[in-house]
Each structure stands twice: as C-alpha cells, then as structure tokens.
C-alpha cells in the first residue's frame, strides 16, 4: 500500500488509521483484491472524500465503512458482496449512498439498460424529493446525460 507515494506495509502498523485524504486501493487482478478488506481492519475512521477501488472484493459493510463520508465513488472491476457472499446488485449499492455526487461503476449491458430506464424516470419526473445523483457510464446517451447533469445540480 502507498501513502504519499511511499510504500507502506500494513503488517508493520500497530495503531489504527484515520483516513482523511482521497483513498485509492488497487490490485493487479480481482483474485488479489483483498487489500480494501485488510485496510478496513487497520482503520479507526475513514473520512476520504473520494474513494477508488480497482480490482477489489469487498463486503457491503466494508464499503459502507470506507465510503462513509465520500462525495465520489469509483468501483472499477470491484465486486461488492452481501453478508451471505452473494454479489450485490448495483441498484442496491447506490441506494446506500444517497448523498454521493458521483458514482462510477464498471457495469454489464443489463445494468446499462436498467440505468437508462432509471435516468428516463428521473428526467421525466417534475419534482425530485432527493438529491439526484449524476450517473454516467460508457455508452450513455449524451443528450440524456446532459439533462441528468443539469437536474443533478439543481437538486
């Protein structure tokens, strides 16, 4: 793990960490993706405003802990699991973070279709009783994305 571009071995840290800066955790592949879980065990509090997890496998509880105060989340090639070990749907993950301004998640074509339906519903609604998230993904309809962008900054 790196801190200010210096390599840190978490095994050599005896006290708990309080993370206040942006947090980026990555592995070469998902099979090595337990770094975030290891960091959670060594962390007292996480106030990172921006969280990037790349090639990680985390539980929903671990994600909630790491992202408790984030404004932006990027889950690139990251798997989030329920307590029973099943993979959590993107829709359920987003529901846990109503205050997040930006959410990036590498998604399947099925999720893209579902997200486009959600975006259509948001655009068509006249009143929004919640902070509208800015949703984006590769291949999103640019016109819809622009409309959603405008709505998300009005709410």
Q: What is the pLDDT of residues 140-152, one digit of tens each?
A: 888 998 999 899 8
Residue with tokens 């978490």: 10
- pTM recorded for the entire structure: 0.69
Say if residue 12's pLDDT is above 90: no
One domain, residues 50 and 88: yes
- Can you give the residue range of the structural domain that contains 65? 1-106
Q: pLDDT, tens digit, for every residue of 15-72?
A: 898 999 899 888 877 777 788 888 899 999 999 999 999 889 999 999 999 999 999 9
Say if residue 7's pLDDT is above 80: no
Q: Which residue, 91, 106, 121, sits at the end of a domain?
A: 106
One domain, residues 85 and 43: yes
pLDDT band at 2 (very low <50, low <70, confident <90, very high): low
Mean pLDDT over all residues of the chain?
85
Q: Six-digit token pair at 126? A: 């006249």
How many domains in the chain?
Answer: 2
CB-CB neighbours of 102 under 10 Å: 15
One domain, residues 68 and 144: no
Contact indicator for 49, 76 with CB cutoff of 8 Å: no
Q: CB neighbours of 16 closer than 8 A, spacing ≥ 6?
A: 42, 43, 44
């Amino acid at each position: 793990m790196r801190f200010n571009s210096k390599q840190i071995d978490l095994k050599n840290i005896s006290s708990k960490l309080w993370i206040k800066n942006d947090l980026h955790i990555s592995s070469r592949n998902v099979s090595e993706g337990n770094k975030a879980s290891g960091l959670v065990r060594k962390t007292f509090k996480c106030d990172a405003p921006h969280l990037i997890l790349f090639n990680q496998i985390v539980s929903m509880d671990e994600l909630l802990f790491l992202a408790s105060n984030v404004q932006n989340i990027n889950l690139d090639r990251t798997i989030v699991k329920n307590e029973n070990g099943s993979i959590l749907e993107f829709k359920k993950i987003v529901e846990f973070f109503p205050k997040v301004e930006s959410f990036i998640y590498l998604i399947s074509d099925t999720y893209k279709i579902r997200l486009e339906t959600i975006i259509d519903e948001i655009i068509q609604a006249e009143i929004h009783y919640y902070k509208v998230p800015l949703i984006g993904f590769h291949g999103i309809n640019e016109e819809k994305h622009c409309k959603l962008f405008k709505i998300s900054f009005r709410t």
